[in-house]
Structure 1
Amino acid sequence: MVDRFEAADPPRLGCIDGRPVGEAIPALLADHGYWGVATATALQLVARGRIVPGVSPRGHDTWRIGPLDPQDEAHLREFATDYEELRRFLDAVADTLPREPGEGPFAGTEVHDVGELREWADDQLRISLRIETDDRMRFRAVVQHHLTEFEAMLAVRRAARVWPPLERLLEQQRLDPLDLTDDEVLELLTAPSIEVHWPRELLTDVKARAVISATSEFRLGELFQLDWQIALRGDPLTGTELDQLAEATRPVVRLRDQWVLVDPAIARKAREKLRPITAVDALAAALTGTTTIDGAEAEVAPSVLRDVLAEIKPVPQPDGLEATLREYQLHGLSWLAHLTGLGLGACLADDMGLGKTITLIALHLHRDDQHPTLVVCPASLLGNWEREIRRFAPGTPVSRYHGPGRTVAREGFVLTTYGTMRVDAEVLARHQWGMVVADEAQHVKNPTSGTARALRTIPATARVALSGTPVENNLSELWSILDWTTPGLLGPLRRFRARWPEPDATLARLIRPFLLRRRKSDPGIAPELPSKTETEQPVPLSQEQAVLYEALVREILDQIAATTGIARRGLVLKLLTGLKQICNHPSHYLKRELTGRSGKLDLLDELLDTILAEDGSVLVFTQYVDMARLLETHLGRRGITTRFLHGGTPVARREEMVREFQNGHVPVFLLSLKAAGTGLNLTRADHVVHYDRWWNPAVEDQATDRAYRIGQTRPVQVHKLVAEGTVEDRISEMLTRKRDLADAVLTSGESALTELTDAELSELVALRSEA
């Protein structure tokens, strides 16, 4: 029989029959006598949340039973032999339970989770400070709460860990108003986790933002001064007021006939002098409204620098241009003339076929620079540039810096390829260029490539990038192009990636003045263009294709499951490539002469029969040279005349092939997507066939635009062949949902698929029933 309880401070140290309460509870629960009932009652109260934090007479943090409702109070008084002793025992149990790990004597006891109890207690033990001032602007803090005296003191103790001046209240054990020094007020301005109510009359809107000092005339080499601007309710302070703020020794300052509470960080800014910044950095700050100061982002006040880029004056069509520019082309010319006239670069990102070449020829004539213009382009476009220049600017010298025995001309246009430029970068860098043009600028989308680095070494008064797809895969490609045209605009690549993992409105404001993007579908751009119809043509696999497909999936997935890292990524790419080849034709995957059947080849034969019967012409794109050679052999056996253009085709032969097709001598043009997807003018075609898919819609669109461009007079039909139930089908669904990504961040194609889990990859490549 238990008969004696000894209380202690703190309560959890109390004993019952000489044993600590915590150890005795299991035995007490088995006792049906007085203390057993008391123990069960304590556990029930704790389980119901009837537990509150407090402070013992000796200053210990404790838990105790409470608050009690009238029914609880009546129950305790009914069976208590000594009510005060019973309450001390209940408090001892309450002070013990939340401190136990839940695995000792209380295992299985139905009590609240300790973490929940502490969260609940923290929520209950809340105080706030109301700040008062007298007529001499002396401060005092008044503690506001809705707690008992013990609870309030416990809450003050916790708050004192954050803001030590509250310890004075603990020393006096009373919550009297607390007189504050100026330093304590400053600390309170930045103290976390304490709710402070400041006098309304002191709460004025004082903000700091950076301001750019600019001259009326923008010069690229000029340095701009960046300083802090302090404003009261949006109205900048005068120089005298700034001095007053900078010299203030108190957290309150008398400004404009009123006392103002000022954050010490803002007061420090009134004393700071910031650094000069370059013209390009100033432009970026003005456009985005933000800049980085000492590693932190700061707001920038509106600047007239934004108007420098917006004030584009119309430029008349230059003398010597043997053509009539369309309205949108004249606007592009004016825009380019304005930016290059300021010493800034630009990226003209019109859709293919809207006349970027003629716009650049007009810009060259308008600038009338004594130094030549260097055009860097793919080899396949050398002939097109030369023809366009001789046609539209017949009085302008044009020469090629390409092939053996090459020399650099000193006037007019100089045309070279990316490959030659990379090899001869030092030679080209020794010459003075009035303008350097990077056509199909996506060739330098990788900033670490040798081609991109070589291009950056060639000096020029103006730099212009031309590209129908400035972003093919990710934003870093856009950075690479714009950092070449206007170095420093987007900052270092690492900081750019960290700041803009995804595009947003701020990035759009920054790049909009430097990148002009027009589409054929835009109102008024090319109303005379005929219609374009895109059709996805699903085709079934032949039996041989299906067998090969499933066998390859089983084999490679088993290998992938057993590998990691680079080896795994290599196997994923091997699997995807093999499956796409099987979808094309069994012979493509097996690397043999064209035998057996393929759903794609059967459909291609049907399409060609219809197209050629109607006297049409067709472009057939494939990303695989081997597949194109198989098609060339197959169509030749059927008596169909073809030409095949790929990366290894010499420049002169390319130009001859284009002439043959455009003159109607060859009805079917087989093209390697990577080598012929840009730059060529093939408006003779009224049909385009994508035999296999280049899992990037922007690249496919560029290829289609070989036919669908200015000069096309017939409707264009685009046929995209997709093997049903295969990985091609799955990817096609994804591309259909992501047509708008060319304006932001496109998928990174097959490389992104290497990061799929084994289960996701299996789902992607599994052969569905419709195959």
Structure 2
Amino acid sequence: MIVEPGQVVFWRPDGGEPGLPGRSGTVRVALSEGVRTVPARRVPTGEAAQLLREGTGPAAEFWALAAEAGARLAEAGWTGPLDPTEEQWLRRLADAMPPHAHAAPVPGRPDLLPERYPLLLRFLGDVAGLEQRVSLRIEAADPLEGRFRAVVQVHGGAEPLVDAEQLWRSDDQDTRHEVLLALRHAAEVWPPLAPLLSAAVPSSIPLGDDEVAELLTGALDPAGMAVHWPAELTGLTARAVVRPGAEPGDVRSFFAGDRVLEFDWQLALGETELTREELDALVEARRPLVRLRDRWVLLDRTTALRAQARVLKPLTAIEALGAALTGRTEVDGDEVEVRTDGWLEDLRVRLSAAPEPVPNPPGLAAQLRDYQLRGLQWLDTVTATGLGGCLADDMGLGKTITLIALHLHRGTGPTLVVCPASLLGTWESEIRRFAPGVAVRRFHGSSRSLDHLDGGFVLTTYGTLRADPGPLAATAWDLLVADEAQHVKNHRSETAKALRTLRSAARVALTGTPVENTLAELWAILDWTTPGLLGPLAEFRRRWGRPVESGADPAVAEQLSRLLRPFLLRRRKSDPGIAPELPAKTETDRPVSLTTEQAALYEATVRELMAQVAESDGMARRGRVVKLLTALKQICNHPAQYLAESGESALSGRSGKLELLDELLDTILAEDGAVLVFTQYVVMARLLRRHLTTRGIRSELLHGGTPVARREEQVRRFQNGDVPVFLLSLKAAGTGLTLTRADHVVHYDRWWNPAVEDQATDRAHRIGQTKPVQVHRLVAEGTVEDRIAVMLRDKRALADAVLHAGDAALTELTDAELADLVTLRRNG
């Protein structure tokens, strides 16, 4: 084997093919029978160390030893000069170089082998990573005519930079030999350098346009030879420009319509855009280097084509907005910079700015917190464009009241809210509480109607939308809201298709979990709120989904963030400026409708047991009233509890409370939360655990019969995060436990005395709790639970009695009062 500048050449004296990796080629070597050309493999010096150590024969052993010496010099910080001791040792090493280690003749002198010591120094410099010795400097031979030449220049680790022409005036034969070796290797890679090898002085070569173009595209990169271009030489910046034209009178209709915007190439020298005349001159030049504004400018083929074909395919309004937001777009498969101006640039700035608080809207019976006011301003900004957005705050941050505030702020027409059936009661309750006087109706159940609709809120369910989309689709809504929007993350589902048939001036999605598994779920939500922004799903997956989910390209993730930021507002309780504004404990009554089965059982039980109450008096009557109340509360929980069904009975789809609990758990667990679920009935707790097990949700169950040691183990598992759900009997677990890992508490059924519920809630909301606690009280609408909850809120005299005596106070009601309390009131 021999060495060349920057590489080791492996060859065999018998002329056979070397069985090694590397770039295949040939090498001329001097053997006993004369100079021969033999097959060779060239390996970069930095990659050849292991092959040298594994090689056999005197040449391999020599260069392996030399490689070790070069590595030691590099560790010592060698820059070129040697102290006398080092030089003496290296000269002795060079003297021991075997013939096959320097068998390549000097170019042009087949009878002369290279000197050993200069060859060794060149190899040591390569191993130590010293700067290369030969490069090309491009000069304008005739600036007016645009002719160029490549000048050979030589430099070493500690030597000044000199032209080859100057070097050839000296007597430094060793360096001359090194330069010729480097040029010979480079000429094998790029043949236009070959005339230098036969020149008396290898000083320079003229360059035609083709050679300039080849050098611009890295023709000498494989040879490791640098090319230095004139300092004044510069390139053109090519960017795509959206030209929005005159500002539309109605931005909403602009984005809702089929308008297209001009889109073309803009070429600039620095920050200054080229004129049309300069672009025409570039096209006519047909050269890789052109003179422009007294400067030499590189003009590669791609840029030249863009100067010639300046007009691009027009963009739709939403495509133009997306390109403006990211500052990038794809043109013929290439990512290019995008700029815009005028009103579209103003809109980009406004949408990208951080939301600022706006005044509390008139008519809202509450004072929004600062972060909620910022959320209102954000919603107003995106909906004012005729587009929409996704409010994806954590559960408990007040998405519902913020949306009610948006309705009041807009005040331009009816708002339709589509939500799971389990949330109808919550929406109606919150609207009546925070927007008193605003009309609210349900489009749900058998007597649904949109007659005489004049503003206000209409509430419907995803199931009703699927079953009866016609009346909803025929109405022009001002605002369309999809609550728990993760329900439409499958864009091919019937629910998602039905949702897209509804007409509205703006759309808002509400969800605490915008992405549960993949970015395609987020695409489904935003493609509904802001159609076209993210493009077709296949294109979204290719351009954004796969690169971001793999983590392979942070720059793509940042571009996607710029695109989504104006249309997706996500705040967490842990965000700065959010949690400090929250109360330590937020309590919410969550009304829920009975299922058909529950309602039928409830009414039949009222008829049967009220008849028994009417026929009795004294203690017997009191006992039957308690029996009635107990039965009704169990029916409100779940028919399986009241009917004492076996452990094999179906549970899903039979209880409004169970459906709402599932909704809550989906959101809580998606946020990595933990929850305590209290019920006063052990039987109900066991039914809940069976249901959670079928759903694959881990839970613990603690009741009065749980041994002390087992209780301690359950608490430890929950506090350590082994299980996310703790089911607890209200009386058994209402005191004496510390369960501060929970940030949510669910009261599945109501205890008439709120103090008892408060004690249970305090298992999570106590010293050691570092997170805000959300308390959810499930209340069956239109039932005895609903009526007593209202009394407790209103602090009526009867409520005071109930607080002190519980069910016993209700046994003293007259038959008429009791009937009024327990009779089922149906909604719509």
Quickly name the TM-score band, shorter chain normalised.
0.5 to 0.7
CA contact (8 A) 2:360 2:368 kept: yes
Equivalent in the alignment of 1:45: 62
Structure 1 segment 428-577 matched on structure 2, within 5 A: 428-447=472-491, 449-491=493-535, 492=537, 493-494=540-541, 495-501=543-549, 502=551, 504-518=557-571, 529-531=582-584
Equivalent in the alignment of 2:227: 196
In the alignment, is residue 341 of structure 1 matched against residue 389 of structure 2? no
What CA deviation, in whole Å up to 9, does each residue of 1:562-594 have, x standing for no partner? xxxxxxxxxxxxxx9799989736xx9xxxx99
CA contact (8 A) 2:415 2:477 kept: yes
Equivalent in the alignment of 2:393: 350
By how many angstroms is 1:486 displaced?
Answer: 1.2
By how many angstroms is 1:347 displaced?
Answer: 1.9
State the distance in 1 between where 2:705 and 2:230 align.
89
SS, match of residue 339 in structure 2: coil
What CA deviation, in whole Å up to 9, does each residue of 1:25-59 have, x standing for no partner? xxxxxxxxxxxxxx9865653443499xxxxxxxx
Q: Residue 301 of structure 1: which of 332, 339, 351 is its match?
A: 339
CA contact (8 A) 1:661 1:667 kept: no
By how many angstroms is 1:463 displaced?
Answer: 0.8
CA contact (8 A) 1:207 1:232 kept: yes
CA contact (8 A) 2:148 2:208 kept: yes
SS, match of residue 464 in structure 2: helix
Structure 1 segment 163-182 matched on structure 2, within 5 A: 163-169=190-196, 175-182=202-209
Quick check: 418-427 or 372-381, which moved more? 418-427
Structure 1 segment 32-181 matched on structure 2, within 5 A: 45-49=62-66, 70-71=91-92, 127-133=134-140, 134-136=142-144, 137-145=146-154, 152=179, 155-160=182-187, 162-169=189-196, 175-181=202-208
Structure 1 segment 418-429 matched on structure 2, within 5 A: 418-425=462-469, 428-429=472-473
Equivalent in the alignment of 1:584: 700
CA contact (8 A) 1:401 1:415 kept: yes
In the alignment, is residue 216 of structure 1 matched against residue 305 of structure 2? no
CA contact (8 A) 2:151 2:204 kept: yes
State the distance in 2 between where 1:389 and 1:71 align.
95
State the distance in 1 between where 2:734 and 2:99 align.
104
Distance change (3 Å), C-alpha of 1:94 and 1:302: same
By how many angstroms is 1:297 displaced?
Answer: 1.0
Q: Residue 379 of structure 1: which of 421, 436, 439 is its match?
A: 421
By how many angstroms is 1:497 displaced?
Answer: 0.8
Equivalent in the alignment of 1:251: 288
Q: TM-score scaled by structure 1?
A: 0.57
By how many angstroms is 1:234 displaced?
Answer: 1.9
State the distance in 1 between where 2:498 and 2:60 align.
78
CA contact (8 A) 2:396 2:774 kept: no
By how many angstroms is 1:452 displaced?
Answer: 3.9
CA contact (8 A) 1:42 1:94 kept: no
SS, match of residue 433 in structure 1: strand
Equivalent in the alignment of 1:285: 323
State the distance in 2 between where 1:229 and 1:339 align.
30
State the distance in 2 between where 1:148 and 1:314 align.
73
State the distance in 2 between where 1:250 and 1:40 align.
53
Distance change (3 Å), C-alpha of 1:46 and 1:423: same
State the distance in 2 between where 1:684 and 1:517 align.
33
CA contact (8 A) 1:660 1:666 kept: no
CA contact (8 A) 2:390 2:529 kept: yes
State the distance in 2 between where 1:94 and 1:532 align.
88
Equivalent in the alignment of 2:457: 413
Q: Residue 267 of structure 1: which of 301, 304, 315 is its match?
A: 304
State the distance in 2 between where 1:473 and 1:702 align.
26
Distance change (3 Å), C-alpha of 1:443 and 1:579: closer
By how many angstroms is 1:15 displaced?
Answer: 6.6
Structure 2 unmatched ranges of 5 or more: 1-12, 16-26, 40-55, 69-87, 107-122, 156-173, 587-691, 717-721, 736-745, 778-792, 794-828
SS, match of residue 280 in structure 1: helix
By how many angstroms is 1:383 displaced?
Answer: 0.8
CA contact (8 A) 2:388 2:506 kept: yes
State the distance in 1 between where 2:705 and 2:272 align.
81
Identity %: 50
CA contact (8 A) 1:227 1:273 kept: yes
CA contact (8 A) 2:584 2:772 kept: no
State the distance in 2 between where 1:166 and 1:365 align.
78
Quick check: 149-158 or 222-231, which moved more? 149-158
Output the aligned Cα RMSD: 5.2
- Please tell me the residue identity of whatever aligns with 2:387: L
By how many angstroms is 1:325 displaced?
Answer: 4.4
Distance change (3 Å), C-alpha of 1:468 and 1:40: closer
CA contact (8 A) 2:364 2:405 kept: yes
SS, match of residue 311 in structure 2: coil
State the distance in 1 between where 2:574 and 2:356 align.
26
Equivalent in the alignment of 1:63: none
State the distance in 2 between where 1:50 and 1:529 align.
67
State the distance in 2 between where 1:191 and 1:447 align.
47
Distance change (3 Å), C-alpha of 1:49 and 1:424: farther
Q: Residue 210 of structure 2: which of 180, 183, 188 is its match?
A: 183
State the distance in 2 between where 1:356 and 1:578 align.
31
Quick check: 293-302 or 427-436, which moved more? 427-436
Equivalent in the alignment of 1:234: 271
State the distance in 2 between where 1:90 and 1:165 align.
29
Distance change (3 Å), C-alpha of 1:47 and 1:319: closer
State the distance in 2 between where 1:360 and 1:578 align.
35
Structure 1 unmatched ranges of 5 or more: 1-5, 23-38, 52-66, 77-86, 96-115, 534-575, 607-620, 642-656, 669-682, 691-699, 708-712, 714-771
CA contact (8 A) 1:661 1:684 kept: no
RCO higher in 1 or 2 (8 Å CA, sep ≥ 6)?
1
CA contact (8 A) 2:359 2:373 kept: yes
CA contact (8 A) 1:14 1:92 kept: no
Structure 1 segment 390-409 matched on structure 2, within 5 A: 390-404=432-446, 406-408=448-450
SS, match of residue 374 in structure 1: strand
- Please tell me the residue identity of whatever aligns with 1:687: D
In the alignment, is residue 661 of structure 1 matched against residue 661 of structure 2? no
Distance change (3 Å), C-alpha of 1:384 and 1:255: same
State the distance in 2 between where 1:457 and 1:127 align.
70
State the distance in 2 between where 1:387 and 1:520 align.
24
State the distance in 2 between where 1:302 and 1:228 align.
12
What CA deviation, in whole Å up to 9, does each residue of 1:87-122 have, x standing for no partner? 767756999xxxxxxxxxxxxxxxxxxxx9999699
By how many angstroms is 1:382 displaced?
Answer: 0.3
By how many angstroms is 1:171 displaced?
Answer: 7.3
Equivalent in the alignment of 2:823: none
Distance change (3 Å), C-alpha of 1:148 and 1:458: farther
